[in-house]
Structure 1
Amino acid sequence: MNPLRATLAILALVILLPAPAGASSSDVFRTDGGSLRLVTTGLAGPDGVVRGALEIALEPGWKTYWREPGSSGVPPQIDVSRSLNVLSAELHFPAPEWHEDSYGAWAGYGGSVSLPVTFAISTPDRYSLIEASLFLGICEAICIPVQASLSVEPGSDPDGAGDRQFVEAAFARLPAPADAHFGIVEASVSGEVATVTAALPGGSGDAELFVAGSEGYVFGIPRKNGSAPGEIVFTLPILEEPKSGGVAAIAYTLVSGGASVSGDFRLP
């Protein structure tokens, strides 16, 4: 073949190949009802942490689950065991809303959402490859499980200004830390029911509570059981409890007046 024609053929092949994803973000994974994309801020900091966000873009009418969606839901999960120089990954969750369908009430998001992620890097000054295996559920009339594998090379594009802004915006939407003025201030157990009292800001008397079972506890849907200015009481059915004794830290998110906080409370 003429050398010039060979060169032109190679160039045409390169042009026709799919463009790779930006180094600090993955390719888009498409599924029924939406798509997934993993975005990061680039290189790890001195603390060995790469911040990222899992973008769950949903079509109108589709929903997805919170970290503790209920007995029939599929909570988002991430596995980075196939990654290089990556120790672990942790998903973080903005405040959800309650939804109800033929399966019952569950906590989740009624539209697109970005879940912040923190990746722990083994050696920050060495090459890293994030191979994230994801499992989550999305719902329209019925709910379907979604499995996806997303790859990111965070160290090869340390700038990624647009990606950095996207990730920072996702973290900015997380609930604030709970405190004595806005958060659960008392918890007790009687039989198969836990009772929690929450302090609310600005004299408010209404709120929504979302609880993530942990350390052997599994809970039913929180029910409001009285309120006063600046305070509200919830009861939590205990569906399962630890077989061994000890104190358990129970994670929660509390929403009131358009603001939200997250923390944990202790149960014996």
Structure 2
Amino acid sequence: MAGQKSSLRLIAAGGGPPQGFYHAGIEIRLDPGALTYWRMPGGAGVPPIFSFEGSVNAAAIAVSYPAPMRIDEDGTEAFGYRGSVTFPLHVTPKDAARPVLLAVTLSYAVCARICLPAKAEARLTLDPALEASAASEGATAIAAAEAEVPLRLTPQQRDAKVAIDRDKTASLPTWRLSTNGDVEDLFAEAPRGWYFETRKLSRPGEFLIVAVEKPHGDGEAPVPVILTLKSERQSYEFSVDLDAASTP
């Protein structure tokens, strides 16, 4: 379905649900120069909103997000995608012997010189009788998108990969994150009212995390933050509690 500066379609890898779910995806293609946003859009923009109302024989539908890029929008940092993006879906049927009618309504924003709200609908039948083909266009696109989805780390895996230390000399609550991996960028997601900036340092694998906004009358308790580290080989994400009290 085509809209303002973008088009949307549903794709599938084909075949039945051998792992208990179908591999599908929502593909957005953007006009040259246009962008759309990640689940945490940065300093501007709005995240996509997915609705699967109208789907038939679907017990559960899980959406994944490929790691975003950092985009400069006239001095404001946005997190999102250019060119195209495919959001992988895992669609679990209620009855694996029957087809699933997958219906999606997606509300999102498309920005070029100006930002425009977009809304698109699409439907696709996932049939267990169809044979899967790893070389099909849908299977190839979905596999590529799933490879860009960050791997979720357990607390033990997180502690083995990264070190996060409070910078006691900074005027704002600030942490230094260090990792041995080849990390391109770092993104932080926090509860409503909080905003954490992330900055790449000159030394490879090192970043600053700075709490630049917090809710009025709050800020003393540890803040649950999701950190996403983007890497060309394997991105990953994890949860961590950051104590944003004014004095460490």
Superposition TM-score, scaled by structure 1 size: 0.72
> Offset of 1:231 from its aligned partner?
3.6
Matched pairs, number: 236
Is the CA contact (8 Å cut-off) linking 1:217 and 1:242 kept in structure 2?
A: no
2:180 to 197, 201, 204: 201
In structure 2, how many angstroms separate the alpha carbons of the residues matched to 1:246 and 1:132? 39
Partner of 1:20 in structure 2? none
Structure 1 residue matching 2:11: 3-state secondary structure: strand
Q: Does 1:212 align with 2:184?
A: no
The letter of the residue matching 1:60 is P
Structure 1 residues 154 and 100, CA gap change in structure 2 (3 angstroms)? same
1:110 to 76, 79, 82: 82
> Offset of 1:134 from its aligned partner?
0.7
> Offset of 1:67 from its aligned partner?
1.2
> Offset of 1:36 from its aligned partner?
0.8
The letter of the residue matching 2:5 is G
Structure 2 residue matching 1:153: 3-state secondary structure: strand
1:166 to 137, 141, 145: 141
Structure 2 residue matching 1:168: 3-state secondary structure: helix
Is the CA contact (8 Å cut-off) linking 1:43 and 1:155 kept in structure 2?
A: yes
Structure 1 residues 111 and 237, CA gap change in structure 2 (3 angstroms)? same
> Offset of 1:180 from its aligned partner?
4.5
Is the CA contact (8 Å cut-off) linking 2:176 and 2:209 kept in structure 1?
A: yes
Structure 2 unaligned regions, length at least 5: 244-248
1:251 to 215, 226, 235: 226
The letter of the residue matching 1:165 is T
Q: Does 1:142 align with 2:111?
A: no
Q: Alignment RMSD, CA only? A: 3.5
1:222 to 198, 201, 204: 198
In structure 1, how many angstroms separate the alpha carbons of the residues matched to 2:71 and 2:143? 28
> Offset of 1:267 from its aligned partner?
3.6
CA displacement, residues 172-230 of structure 1 (integer Å, 9 cap, x when unaligned): 2223445458855336699x95534323226x7x752212234x463143245x66565
Decide which moves more: 131-140 or 115-124.
115-124
Counting only pairs closer than 5 Å after superposition, residues 34-183 of structure 1 correspond to structure 2 as 34-43=6-15, 45=17, 47-102=19-74, 104-155=76-127, 158-161=130-133, 162=136, 163-177=138-152, 179-180=157-158
The letter of the residue matching 2:115 is C
What percent of counterpart residues are identical? 26
Structure 1 residues 123 and 232, CA gap change in structure 2 (3 angstroms)? same
Q: Does 1:261 align with 2:236?
A: yes
Partner of 2:207 in structure 1? 232
> Offset of 1:247 from its aligned partner?
6.3
In structure 2, how many angstroms separate the alpha carbons of the residues matched to 1:148 and 1:234? 36
In structure 2, how many angstroms separate the alpha carbons of the residues matched to 1:230 and 1:252? 14
The letter of the residue matching 1:212 is E
Structure 1 unaligned regions, length at least 5: 1-28
> Offset of 1:136 from its aligned partner?
1.0
Is the CA contact (8 Å cut-off) linking 2:224 and 2:239 kept in structure 1?
A: yes
> Where is the helix percentage greater, Structure 1 or Structure 2?
1
Partner of 2:164 in structure 1? 186
